[in-house]
Amino acid sequence: MRIRALLIACLVAASSLMLAWLGVRGAMYAVIVGIVVLMIFVAVSSLWLSLYAWHTPTNMQQVGFAEPLPPKHGFSVIVPVRGAGMEIIGPTVSALVAQDHPDLEILMVVSGDDDETTRASAEVLRDMHPDLIKVINVTGKKNKPLALMAALPHASKEIVGIIDAESIAARSLLTLVDTTFQRSRADVVQAGVQLMNYRDSWYSLINCMEYYRWFKSRLHWHALRKFITLGGNTVFFKRDALLAVGAWDTNNLAEDCEIGVRLSVAGYEVAVAYDPAHITMESTPDSPRRLVRQRIRWMQGFLQTYRKGVWRELDTWPMRTLARYTLLMPTAQAVFGLLLPLSVAAAIWLKVPTILALFTFVPLAAFLVTLAADMVALREFGEDFGLKVGIRDQLRLVLGTFPYQCLLSIAAIGAVVRQKRGKDNWELTVQAGQHHKGLELATAKGSA
């Protein structure tokens, strides 16, 4: 508290000095310049990091999996299930059963006391493959990290992976992940996750593009820099590494982000692979409201991780700066999104010097360049997955980006408020499993 008081005193002193030196108008200009500089930093840095795969042709060639090697490691795959019937977990499990990797066990975690349908479905599946599947019952308080922690003692293999209940894993995913463990020095492999239902709603397209940039590009940069927030799905750990850092934090809203930070701090290496042919498909939250709630949870999880402060144990200040940047940026970016129209309005309506007015346009230009990059990414997304991407989709991207940014801003404010008030209970996103629509036949087969 004393440090905070000192900080506030310094701020007050600095601003009064500024006022004295520059006068009211000058001080106002200085504040505008400061805000605009921050906005430029946020916009340019996040554009540049999200373009990591596009930095050089070599980068682009290295985002996928390498040529597969014969399997060497055993896999324990945890599938946390909640509120999902056979129509959702059926395909998930059959996709796992159909893996071409020989050494595999599936640990389904269900809520034994309040989710009877899920438990029943899981047990039906187990009875079909008793040698492969175990069902683990949890009772009492429930959330994803608790489910994972409950499953961990049952994991007997060298590698522990997580596949979400609504995810269809590609047939050779485990073999390729195994290969990545063999070819790199990685202790953790994050495989790509991709939202696919880009035509379902106005925001789903942009949500899909977020995933595309994140898993295909940005995460690779973080892996290279050895500070990474992991995803919660299709992520594979060496069990020893997992146990060494104490596995998941059951109080964190974004336990995937948090464990990534602890593994990074402990010096474990992470490999990321994004390969359209072996992607794990998911779908977007089914209403803007759910999307906002999901984001509140994630952003608050990031803030919790920041607050927890394990990242402070990093050795060098550039690493600590990177940690601050990574953990605070999702929230900061969303808040700065709101400032964009404000800055443009200020440039036009406030009587400021021309040069300053021009300067306030720089973030807008950066935003538009980002949009152009997104349009290219959308087209390549279509090419990667053999989907039709036409003018209408591009138009939806252009028109939807700003409203989407507004949703994120609302979520950011929500996350900050909740964090301040100390609320940290679940805001669980219900997945509709929309990408399953085309797979109903397969489901029928798988569960028959």
Partner 1 sequence: MTACESPSYVPALPRWERYKLTTRFLSRIPRGTFVILGLLVVTGLVHGLHMTVTPALVTTDDEGTYVAQAWAILHQGRLAHYTYWYDHPPLGWIQIAGWAWLTHAFERYDSAIAVGREFMLVMKLASVALMYVVSRRLGMNRVFASLAVLLFALTPLGLYYQRLTFLDNIAVTWLLAAFALALSPRHKTSAILASALCFGVAVLTKETILVIAPALIYQLLQATRNHTGRMARVLWFATLTFTGLFYVGMALIKHELLPGAGHVDLLTAIRWQLFDRASSGSIFDPTSAASVIAHSWVGLDPWVLGLGLIAALPALTVPRLRPVSLVLLIQVAFMLRPGGYLPQPYLIAMVPFAALVIAGVLHFLWDISSGDNARNQQRRKIPYTRVSYVEAAAKVPALALVVALVLTVAPVWEPRLRSLTTDDRNVSVRQFTEWMEHNVPTTRPDGRKVRIVVSDAMWVDLKQRGYDPDWYFKMDLDPEVQAKYPRGWQDVDYLIYTNELNETAKSESKQDMRTTLEARKHGTLVAQFGSQSESIWIYKVTG
Which one of 40, 69, 319, 357 is in contact with partner 1 (CB under 8 A)? 357
Site track 15-54 with partner 1 (rule: CB under 8 A), x = hit: ---------------------------------x--x-xx
Residue 310 sits at the vertex; the CA angle it makes with 308 and 315, to the nearest 5 degrees, is: 150
CB neighbours (10 Å) of residue 85? Answer: 13
CB of 68 to partner 1, least distance (A): 22
Q: Residue 56, Cα to own-chain centre: how many angstroms?
A: 24
Site track 361-390 with partner 1 (rule: CB under 8 A), x = hit: x---x--xx--xx-xxx-xx----------
60 counts as binding partner 1 under rule CB under 8 A: yes
Site track 337-356 with partner 1 (rule: CB under 8 A), x = hit: ----------xx-----x--
CB of 217 to partner 1, least distance (A): 10
CB neighbours (10 Å) of residue 429? Answer: 16
Tokens of 234: 């299709």
10 counts as binding partner 1 under rule CB under 8 A: no
CB of 42 to partner 1, least distance (A): 17
Which one of 24, 57, 315, 421 is in contact with partner 1 (CB under 8 A)? 57
CB of 55 to partner 1, least distance (A): 5
Of 97 and 346, the one with the shorter C-beta distance to partner 1 is 346
Of 13 and 372, the one with the shorter C-beta distance to partner 1 is 372
Tokens of 281: 């498909």
224 counts as binding partner 1 under rule CB under 8 A: no
Q: Which residues bind partner 1 (CB under 8 A)?
A: 48, 51, 53-61, 347-348, 354, 357-358, 361, 365, 368-369, 372-373, 375-377, 379-380
